[in-house]
Amino acid sequence: MFIFKQLPCLLLFVTLLLPANPLLQAQTDDKVYTSKDGIVLPKTTHSVEPGYTDEAQAQGIMGDVTVSLEIGKDGKPRNIKIVQGLDPGLDKNAVAALSEWRFDPGTKDGHPVITAATIRISFRLQ
């Protein structure tokens, strides 16, 4: 579990959960690996915190946004999709932030591979 610094009125928890949605495998030409394939899992090297929208903060909305994605051989996220949303503005902010994340890619036999992942971002007001 990744725990990020506190922002005003926000404590953000992110969990990288593997394996992810197997349907992602059919969406690319290259094989998409999961933790069940005996790979070395990707590691986060750079993360960006999604912010609260003014509306969600005013309404006291708290909870999780679950996102599926693929981590490319280059360590960049792609095919980012909301699996379970919380609020349209928070969902949008979660996707925008995740698009800026970077990873050491997963590897199989020492070679980078595309890896399916699910990331859960928890929005909590203080």
Q: Report pLDDT digits (tens) over 51-76.
A: 999 999 999 999 999 999 999 999 99
Q: What is the pLDDT of residues 79-111, one digit of tens each?
A: 999 999 999 999 999 999 999 999 999 999 999
Give the residue-averaged pLDDT of 119-124.
94
User: Strand (E) positions, 1-126?
Assistant: 2-3, 11-17, 32-33, 43-46, 63-71, 77-84, 102-104, 106-108, 111-124
CA-to-CA separations, 37 to 19, 107, 111, in angstroms, rounded:
10, 10, 13
CATH number, domain 2-124: 3.30.2420.10
Q: Whole-prediction pTM value?
A: 0.75
Q: What is the pLDDT at residue 30? A: 81
